């Protein structure tokens, strides 16, 4: 008998529209719970192409959005007017309808490099964003999550697999990767793992096959396996073909 697969709750859907509606209902319920417990709530959301329908569905959910802070789990170092900006994705697709009054905590600042803005962004996110109440992660075809790419190296502290945010562990890093055209900034796993509700939003058969490998193969060094092995509570997968 081989090693046991890493724990993962699964919710599987026939199509992306059903998934978007269900994930929006779940995240809205989590945010309402956080608002009831401590009067404000914070959600970190993935970028890329996959989340658009989910963001649109979430923007229509009824809750006290004025007390909700939204931040991207990662950012491409591009101005918010750029089509590849994750902040633009949030503003165009989530900060609409009922969610128009939510507060955005951006990562991007108009500096030439993410390194130049790292300290002020890190400080602001640590003070105003963490701990998270909810985090929704996507995954790239190469197994990256947020902007934690395979070429960071498995020993990079940003991928450390254990524990909740101990003092002194950076919640945000600047990222240079061969895989993407632009430098980036990303929440680290220790920041993402502050969320008691952690979701993976993954669509398509290829990504599902990669996720299965990451879940079952202890030799896998991809960032997605570091999420599965390190999360303090098993994440919940929302998947559709």
Ligand X SMILES: O=C1O[C@H](COP(=O)(O)O)[C@@H](O)[C@H](O)[C@H]1O
Applying CB under 6 A, the residues found at the interface with ligand X are 46-50, 73-74, 86, 138, 140, 146-147
- Backbone φ, ψ for residue 68 (5° rounding): -110, 135
Q: Closest separation between CB of residue 227 and ligand X, Å?
A: 11
Q: Closest separation between CB of residue 55 and ligand X, Å?
A: 12
Measured from the CB atom, is 63 or 237 closer to ligand X? 237
Q: Closest separation between CB of residue 64 and ligand X, Å?
A: 26
Q: Which residue is nearest to ligand X (CB)?
A: 48
For the chain, the C-alpha Rg in angstroms (whole number) is 17
**Distance between CA atoms of residues 51 and 49, nearest Å:** 6
**Distance between CA atoms of residues 39 and 41, nearest Å:** 7
Measured from the CB atom, is 145 or 220 closer to ligand X? 145
- Could you tell me the two tokens for 70? 């939204």
CA proximity to 103, closest of 56, 69, 126, 133: 69
Measured from the CB atom, is 56 or 63 closer to ligand X? 56
Residue 227 vs residues 86, 123, 144, 170, 189: alpha-carbon distances, Å? 21, 24, 10, 17, 7
Q: Closest separation between CB of residue 211 and ligand X, Å?
A: 13
Measured from the CB atom, is 46 or 69 closer to ligand X? 46
């Amino acid at each position: 008998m081989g090693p046991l697969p890493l724990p993962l709750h699964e919710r599987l859907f026939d199509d992306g529209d059903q998934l978007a509606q269900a994930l929006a209902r779940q995240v809205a319920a989590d945010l309402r719970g956080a608002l009831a417990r401590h009067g404000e709530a914070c959600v970190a959301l993935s970028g890329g192409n996959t989340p658009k329908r989910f963001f649109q569905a979430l923007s229509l959910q009824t809750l006290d959005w004025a007390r909700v802070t939204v931040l991207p789990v990662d950012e491409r170092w591009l101005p918010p007017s750029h089509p590849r900006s994750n902040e633009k994705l949030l503003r165009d697709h989530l900060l609409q309808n009922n969610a128009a009054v939510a507060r955005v905590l951006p990562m991007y600042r108009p500096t030439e490099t993410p390194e130049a803005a790292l300290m002020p962004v890190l400080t602001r996110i640590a003070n105003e964003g963490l701990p998270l109440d909810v985090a929704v992660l996507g995954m790239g075809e190469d197994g990256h999550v947020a902007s934690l790419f395979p070429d960071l190296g498995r020993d990079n502290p940003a991928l450390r697999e254990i524990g909740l945010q101990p003092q002194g562990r950076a919640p945000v890093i600047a990222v240079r990767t061969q895989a993407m055209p632009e430098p980036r900034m990303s929440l680290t796993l220790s920041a993402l793992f502050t969320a008691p509700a952690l979701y993976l939003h993954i669509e398509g058969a290829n990504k599902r096959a990669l996720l299965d490998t990451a879940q079952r193969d202890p030799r896998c060094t991809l960032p997605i396996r570091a999420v599965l092995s390190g999360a303090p509570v098993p994440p919940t997968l929302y998947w559709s073909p």
